[in-house]
Amino acid sequence: MTNSTTNFKPVFASTFESMTDDEGYLINQEGLSCLEICDKAIVILRASKDPEKTKKAAKENWGIDLPHVLGISKGDDGVQCFWISPDEYWLVHSQFQREALWQKQVDLPVGVSLVDNTGAYGALCFKGTNVHKLLSRWMGYDLSGKLAVGKVVSTTLGQAPVVAYRETEGELMLLVRHSFSHYVVGLLTDSAKRL
Amino acid sequence: MRVEQITSHQIDRSKPLTFIFNNKKYKGFEGDTLASALIANDALLFARSFKYGRKRGLMAAGVEEPNALVSLEMGGRYTPNLKATEIPLYDGLSAKSATNPHSFDLRAFIKPLHRFMPAGFYYKTFIKQAVWAKVEDSLRALSGFSEAPTQEDVDVYDHVHHHAEVLIVGGGAAGMSAALEVLKNSDSERVILVDERARLGGELFNEFASDEAAAIWHEEGVADLCGFAKEQSDRFTMLTRATAYAWHDQNYVEVLETHATGENLSLTNGSQVRKTLHKIRAKKVILATGAHERPMLFEANDLTNIMLSQSVRRYLNEFGAVSGKKVVVYGNNDSIYQTAQDLHRCNISCTVIDVRSAGATNSIADKTRQGGIKVMQGYAIVKAHGSDKVDGIDVALAVRQGVSWEVIGESESLSCDLLATSGGFNPVVHLDCHTGAKATFDEVSQAFLPQKERPNRQTCGAVSGVGAWHDAVIDAKNKAQLTLQSLGVVSEVNNAELGENHSNYYNVGEFFTPAAIIERPKVFLDLQNDVTTLDVALSIREGYRSIEHIKRYTAMGFGTDQGKTGNINGIAVAAAILGKTMPEVGTTTFRPAYTGVDFGALAGRENGGLFDPQRYTTIHDSHVAKGAEFEVVGQWYRPWYYPKTGENIHQAVHRECLAARTSLGMMDASTLGKIDVQGPDAREFLSRVYTNAWMKLAPGSCRYGLMCNEKGMIIDDGVSTCIGDNHFIMTTTTGGAASVYSTLEMWLQTEWNHLDVHLNSVTDHYSTIAVVGPNARNLMKLLCQDVDFDRESFKFMQWRPGIVCGVSARIMRISFSGELAYEINVEANYGRYIWDQVATVGEKWNITPYGTESMHVLRAEKGYIIVGQDTDGSMTPADVNMNWIVANNKPFSFIGQRSFSIAALSAENRFQLIGLLTKDASVVIPEGAHIIDNGGKSVGYVTSSYFSPMLGRSIAMAQMQGGLSKVGETTIVKIVQEKQGLKEIPCEISSSVFYDINGERVDGND
Amino acid sequence: MFLIHCPYCNEEREQEEFSPAGEAFIARPEAPEDISDEAWADYVFYRTNHKGDHWEQWVHSNGCRKYFMVERSTITHEILKVAAFGADISE
C-alpha cells in the first residue's frame, strides 16, 4: 500500500540550529567565533566494578585505552573517549559511526553498560583571542590555566552544566545540554556584544 | 579656593567642567572629585547630622569620609548614598546632599534638649510600639540618608572571573612596588593589581613638594606598570577605580570596578558597562591597602571645616584645593608638620599645635619654626567654636602623667577658619579580617596591625605599620620576594633593610583621651550616627563591657563609613573608661563589604531573561507557532494551553479536554525526568526505591511506581519501562528530576554500593510526544508500520520498539488521562519533526494539542495525584488511598517502609486525599482554599480544582483530616473574596475519582 | 565561596560545582523492621550539631557527580580533609 504516510523523510534538527546564522555561527566577530558542530554523537560507557573487564571491553571493541582522570584518549576511527568520573566514560564520535559503535553493545560483559545520550547535547567550538575573555564572564573554571589540550572537565557556565574540553590547540569545545541551549546562547551573545 | 599649580596636582586646568550641586552651578576641572571641586569652590556645607541635626562638611578626602553623602543624578541613573569624595567629576554632573543642610532642621532647633537624647534614646523612648508607630515615619524622614531609588536601574553590569598567581590590593607606593617586583622577577605568573582611586600613587602626591625622589619614582613606576600592562596583557591586569570590597576563604577576592562611563552620564549608552564585578581567585595576595588617619578628640570636633590633616594635604597636593586661609594643624605625630609645611609653601598661614611636649619631639618642630611657622608644643585643643563652620579654638596645656594625659590650666583662644587634625593612623586591615583573622595592637605604632602570619598572603607598606614611602617601597619588595619564593619562582629571597623607626607612624604619641576631654559634651566619635564619648560612657555605666556590645548600644560604626575614622578612637575611649589596654578591649568584627556595592553590580547580567535558565524542549518552536501560552515548571517552559484566536484559558482548556476525550489530543511530555537503569541489580534497585514490586516485571512491560523518603512520605512517582532483565528506563516528575536522580545516586553510592547497577540521566536525550484519545490507535497505525497496534497484541502498560515516521522510537502505551494513549519517545533531535508529523497526519481527526492545564484536568477527572500538588511531603501512600501500591513482602526494607508502621502515620486525624463536589456545580473552588469545620477550625485544604468539561461541573481534590472515612458527608469550604468578603462553599465529600471509574476508556473503542 | 578538592577529579573546584549532602557516616540500620520506633526516628531525624571539626558528605553535582567525605570546621569553615567515599579516614 502506498500512501503519503510511508514516504517519511525525517528531519534532524541540531541543538543550536534555530539560533545560528547560515554558516552555523552563534557568534562571529573579531577575535571571537563560536560555531556549532552538528555531528557529535555521545554514548555513555559505564564501567564494571571489575576495572579489568572495562579495560578489556574498551580495547577490544573500540581500540580504546581508557584515559586517566580528566583525560581524553583515542580509539579506532577517531572515536574519542572522555573521562567523566571514576566509572563513567563518554565515547564521542561522529554521527556516521553511530551504528557501528552501537553494535558492540551486545559483546559487552555484564556490569559494563552503554547508554546513548546523543540527543541530549549540542557542541560548540570557540576560536579567537577573546575566547577566555568571553567564557570567564560565566565560568569559574580556570580555562586558561588548567584546561590543556587533551583535558576534559565537567563544570558550570552560569547556571548551566557544561562539559569543556580541548582537542586541538587554539580551539575550545563546549558540550551543552539542549534544554540549556537558549540560556547559554543568551549569556554568551549578551557578553559578546561588549567584547 | 584653588592654589597655584605645582607638579603633584592631578587636575587638568585645560579641561574645565561645569556641574550642579544642591541646585547651584559650579566649575571644576578634569581630575577633580566632586569633593575636591566643592572645596575649591568653598562650598563646604554638606549635611545635617542624623540625630542632632548639626551642620556638617567634609572631613576626609577618601572612602573614610563620614559626612558628605550625596545623591547622584536622577531617574534610571540615580544612585543614593555616595560619598562626594569617591565621585570623579565630569561635565554636567548633577548631585545633591542626601539631606538638605540648608533647610530648617527640627533637631537643631531643639538643641537644649539634646542632652536628653543620648545613645539608647530612640530605643528607650519608643519601645512602646504605639508611640514608635506614630513617630517612625517622621523620624525616618529626618535621617541623613538619600531616598531610595524609584526607577529601574538601566545600566549594564558585568561579572568576570579571574585566576591569578598574585593579586596586589592597593596601588600606592607599596602596591606599585610589590607589583613591579613580582612582574620583573617572573615570566608567566598571572598578576593583578587593583586600586580604588582613579590613578596609581596613593598618598605619594603628598611627598612631591618636599621630596623630588617621590615624583620621579612615581613617574617611572607608573610608566613601567603601564608598559607591562600593554606588552604582557595576557598575564598582567591593572585596574583603577577598582575597590576590593570582600575577601573570602582561600583568597577569593571581589573587586568592584567603576568604569569611566560609570558615573559619567554623557559617556554612557545602553551597551557600555557601568561597573564590572571582578571575582578573583588568587594563589597569593599582597595587601597594600594603606592606613586611614584618625582625628583628635575635643568638644565640638565635628564642626564644618574640621578635617583630617592628611586629607587637607591631599586636597592641596593632589587637587590644588584648600578650604581655609588661616589653618591650625593639631595632632600627636610628626605628620602634622608636613601638612603645615605644605600649606606654608602655598602661602597659606598656619599654626601647628602638637599635643606632645617639647622634650618628646625631635628636630622637626624646630625646623618648622625656622621655616616661619608658629609651633605650640604641649598644648591641647579642648573646644572648637563656630556656627556655620569653625572660627576658633580653645587650647590648654597638655601633659603626660604616667600612663595617661592630663589637661591643666586655663584655656586661651585662637582663631582659625580651617582645622586639620591627626590622632595617628589606622591600618586598613578590613579585608585581611574578613575571614576571621584578628588584628593585633602594636604599642610602637599605636595601631591595630594585621595578624603577623596568614597563609598565602603578605602585607606591606602603611597597612603593616611602615608609614614612610621609601620604606614602604622596600618593605613591598621584600614581601614580593617572599611571595615569589612561596610560588617557587625564586629560591632565595632578596631582602633589603628598612630605615630606622620604620614601624613607627611618624613618632606617634598615645591616644589623647584624658577625662577633661572625653567627659565634655559633643566630643564626637562617629559623625554619621552622632555618637559621642558620653554615649560610650553611658553604655559602660549601663553594664556593657564587650566592644561589640558598646558598638551596638551606641550605634558607633553603624553608618556607611563603617566607623573608619571613629571606631579606633571609640576603642581608646572605652579603654580609658574601663581602665583596660587597647588590646584588651580589641576591635569589633570586620565584615564585607568594605565600601558600598550597587545591587545592580551584584546582580550583573543575571536579571530579566537571564536571571534563571529558561529550558525548552526541542519541540518549543512548534508550540510557539501554534500560539501556546507557557507555564514555568521548575526551569522548564511548558505549553500551558493553546488558545485559538479570541479564546481565554477556560475556553481553550474546555476545547482541548473534550478533543482528547472524544477524538484525539497531543501533548509534549519531554520535560519529565528519564533515568536509564542498567545492570544485574537493576530490579533490586528499583524494588528498594519504589514501594511496589519490580522483580517480575517482564521485558516489554511498563509499571507505575511510587517513591517515598525514609520518613514514609511520597516524594515522586512515574512510569518505569522494562527494556530487558538488566535494563529499565525510569521516569520522574518534571520538577523532581534533578533531585530524584541525585537522591538515587546517593543511595547507590553511599549505602548500596555493592549493587551492580548504573544510573544515567537521559532526560534531554529523548523527546516524548503523547498521542491521546479514542482515535489514537488509528493515528499510530498511519505513523508506524512495523508494530501491531491491535488491542490484544499491544496491551495497556506495554511498550514496543518501532519506526515512527522513519525514526527509531520507543512507543509506550501508558495514560495519564485514562484515555487510549501512546507515548512516542525519539531522540530529541527528531522531536520537533515527529511532533509536526503527528500534527499533520492527525488533522483528519482534528488532533488538538493540549498543555499542562488540560493535562491537569484530565488526570484530576481520574483522581490521579500530582506529586507536589496533591501531596506536600507529608502524605504517605495510605494518606492518598494508595495502599494497593505498597508491597510489604519484599526480602529487604525499601525506602520509607519502616516509617509506615510508626504510630503517628496511622493516626486517625491524618490529612487524607478526598474529592469535593460543590453543591453548586458551577462554582470552582480556588486552589488552596480551606475546609472549615463547625468549630471554625481548618481541617484541610483544596489541592487541585477545575471545571470538568466532560462532567459539565466542577471537581476538586483536597487533603482533609480523616477524610477517607467521611465520604458522603457534607462540609464547607470558606474563602474570602476581594470586595465581597467571606463566602461559604458547601461541598459533598466524595471519592477523588470522578470519571471513568472502572477504567474502561483506556483501551479505546476498537 | 570556597574551594573543594574533589578526590575523584583530583582537582580543586569552586564550591558552586558541589552540593552539600548531610552528615557523614550515617548508616542505614541493617534490619529496620527489628528496631524500635525511637531508634528508627533517631536514624531518620537526628543529626549531631557539632561545634568544631565535623565530617560531612558532599557531591560533585556539576562535575563527576560522585559523593565523597569532607572534614570541615564548623567554626572556621576550613576544610581539613577530603576523602573518597569509603576510603579509610583514620590516617
Q: The whole model's pTM is what?
A: 0.94
Residues B369 and B518 in one domain: no
The pairing of strands B273-287 and B457-459 is parallel
Kindly give, in sequence order, each residue whose CB lies less than 8 Å from that of residue A131, ignoring residues fewer than 6 positions away: A32, A172
Instruction: From B408, B423, B438, give the residue that closes a domain.
Output: B423
* Least reliable range by pLDDT among B255-264, B721-730, C50-59: B255-264
Residues B814 and B957 in one domain: no
- The CATH number covering residue B56 comes to 3.10.20.440
Pick the closest to residue B518 from B627, B383, B623 (CA basis): B383
- Measured CA to CA, the distance from residue C62 to residue A152 in angstroms comes to 13
* Least reliable range by pLDDT among B66-80, C39-53, C74-88: B66-80
B interface residues, C as partner, C-beta within 8 Å: 248-250, 252, 281, 436, 710-711, 742, 745-746, 749-751, 753, 893, 897-899, 902-903
pLDDT tens-digit series, residues B852-886: 999 999 999 999 999 999 999 999 999 999 999 99
User: Is B743 contained in some domain?
Assistant: yes
Burial B149-172 (b: 16+ CB within 10 A, else e): beeebebbbbbbbbbbbbbbbbbb
pLDDT tens-digit series, residues B926-970: 999 999 998 999 999 999 999 999 999 999 999 999 999 999 999
Instruction: From B150, B177, B195, give the residue that closes a domain.
Output: B150
Strands (E), B781-888: 799-804, 807-812, 821-827, 848-849
pLDDT per residue, tens digit, chain A (195 aa), is 334 456 899 999 999 999 999 999 999 999 999 999 999 999 999 999 999 999 999 999 999 999 999 999 999 999 999 999 999 999 999 988 888 888 877 779 999 999 999 999 999 999 999 999 999 999 999 999 999 999 999 999 999 999 999 999 999 999 999 999 999 999 999 999 999
User: Is B323 contained in some domain?
Assistant: yes
Q: Which chains lie within 8 Å of chain C at 3 or more CB pairs, if any?
A: A, B
Which residue of A lies nearest to C66 if distances are taken between CA atoms? A85
Residues B310 and B375 in one domain: yes
Residues B326 and B258 in one domain: no
User: Does the pLDDT of residue C18 top 70, yes or no?
Assistant: yes
pLDDT tens-digit series, residues B56-88: 999 999 999 999 999 998 777 888 889 999 999
Residues B991 and B943 in one domain: yes
Give burial (CB, 10 Å; 0-12/13-18/19+) of B391. middle
Contacts of A141 in chain C (CB under 8 A): 13-14
Residues B71 and B178 in one domain: no
pLDDT at A2 (0 to 100): 36
User: Is B478 contained in some domain?
Assistant: yes
Pick the closest to residue B461 from B420, B488, B416, B429 (CA basis): B429
pLDDT tens-digit series, residues B150-191: 888 888 899 999 999 999 999 999 999 999 999 999 999 999
User: Is B375 contained in some domain?
Assistant: yes
Contacts of C64 in chain B (CB under 8 A): none
Mean residue pLDDT of chain B comes to: 93
- Measured CA to CA, the distance from residue A157 to residue A137 in angstroms comes to 9
Q: What is the rounded average pLDDT of the residues B828-840? A: 98
Residues B648 and B775 in one domain: yes
pLDDT at B362 (0 to 100): 66
C-alpha triplet B688, B691, B694: angle, nearest 5°: 65
* Least reliable range by pLDDT among B53-57, B159-163, B623-627, B986-990: B53-57
CA distance B562 to chain C (A): 24
Residues B779 and B649 in one domain: yes
Residues B666 and B814 in one domain: yes
pLDDT at B877 (0 to 100): 97
Contact state of B613 with A191 under an 8 Å Cβ cutoff: no
Burial B184-211 (b: 16+ CB within 10 A, else e): ebbeebbbbbbbbbeebbbbbbbbbbee
Domains and CATH numbers, chain C: 3-84 (3.30.2270.10)
Q: Which of A69, A70, A161 sits opposite C62 (nearest CB)?
A: A161
The three-class DSSP label of residue B634 is: coil
Q: For B273-293, what is the HEC assignment?
A: EEEEEEEEEEEEEEECCCEEE
pLDDT at B348 (0 to 100): 96
- The CATH number covering residue B957 comes to 2.40.30.110
Domains and CATH numbers, chain A: 15-39+119-192 (3.30.1360.120), 40-118 (3.30.70.1520)
User: Is B13 contained in some domain?
Assistant: yes
User: Is B477 contained in some domain?
Assistant: yes
User: Does the pLDDT of residue B93 top 80, yes or no?
Assistant: yes
Which residue of B lies nearest to C21 if distances are taken between CA atoms? B746
The three-class DSSP label of residue C58 is: strand
User: Residue A173 pairs with which residues in a beta bridge?
Assistant: A125, A165
Residues B445 and B368 in one domain: no
User: Is B594 contained in some domain?
Assistant: no
Greater model confidence, B559 or B252: B252
User: Is B23 contained in some domain?
Assistant: yes
- Measured CA to CA, the distance from residue B423 to residue B331 in angstroms comes to 5
The pairing of strands B425-427 and B821-827 is unpaired
Residue B335, CA atoms < 13 Å, CB-side half-sphere: 30
Residues B649 and B778 in one domain: yes
Burial C51-90 (b: 16+ CB within 10 A, else e): eeebbbbbbbbbbbbbbbbbbbeeeeeebeebbebeeeee
Q: Cβ–Cβ contacts within 10 Å for residue B786, how many?
A: 9
- Measured CA to CA, the distance from residue B507 to residue B534 in angstroms comes to 29
- Measured CA to CA, the distance from residue B441 to residue B444 in angstroms comes to 9
Q: What is the domain range of residue B452? A: 156-291+427-486
A interface residues, C as partner, C-beta within 8 Å: 69-70, 84-86, 88, 140-141, 146, 153-156, 161
Contact state of B615 with A179 under an 8 Å Cβ cutoff: yes
User: Does the pLDDT of residue B803 top 90, yes or no?
Assistant: yes
Contacts of B903 in chain C (CB under 8 A): 37
pLDDT at B363 (0 to 100): 86
Q: Which of C3, C37, C66 sits opposite B749 (nearest CB)?
A: C66
- Measured CA to CA, the distance from residue B463 to residue B472 in angstroms comes to 10
User: Does the pLDDT of residue B913 top 60, yes or no?
Assistant: yes
User: Residue C83 pairs with which residues in a beta bridge?
Assistant: C69
Pick the closest to residue B728 from B698, B693, B770 (CA basis): B698
Q: Cβ–Cβ contacts within 10 Å for residue B676, how many?
A: 24
pLDDT at A1 (0 to 100): 35
- The CATH number covering residue B739 comes to 3.30.70.1400
- The CATH number covering residue B396 comes to 3.50.50.60
* Least reliable range by pLDDT among B96-100, B650-654, B788-792, B967-971: B96-100
pLDDT at B74 (0 to 100): 78
Structural domain count, chain B: 7
Kindly give, in sequence order, each residue whose CB lies less than 8 Å from that of residue C41, ignoring residues fewer than 6 positions away: B902
* Least reliable range by pLDDT among B28-32, B271-275, B453-457, B753-757: B271-275
pLDDT tens-digit series, residues B118-141: 776 666 666 666 666 666 666 655
Pick the closest to residue B582 from B433, B441, B422, B463 (CA basis): B441
Strands (E), B758-850: 758-761, 766-772, 799-804, 807-812, 821-827, 848-849
pLDDT at A3 (0 to 100): 42
Percent of chain B with pLDDT over 90: 84
Residues B301 and B268 in one domain: no
pLDDT at A4 (0 to 100): 46
C interface residues, B as partner, C-beta within 8 Å: 1-3, 14, 19, 21, 27-28, 31-33, 35, 37, 40-41, 43-44, 57, 59, 61, 65-67, 76-78, 85-86
* Least reliable range by pLDDT among B101-115, B320-334, B786-800: B101-115
- Measured CA to CA, the distance from residue A136 to residue B579 in angstroms comes to 54
- Measured CA to CA, the distance from residue B797 to residue B820 in angstroms comes to 11
Cα-to-chain-centroid distance, residue B337: 44
Pick the closest to residue C8 from A84, A164, A157, B751 (CA basis): A84
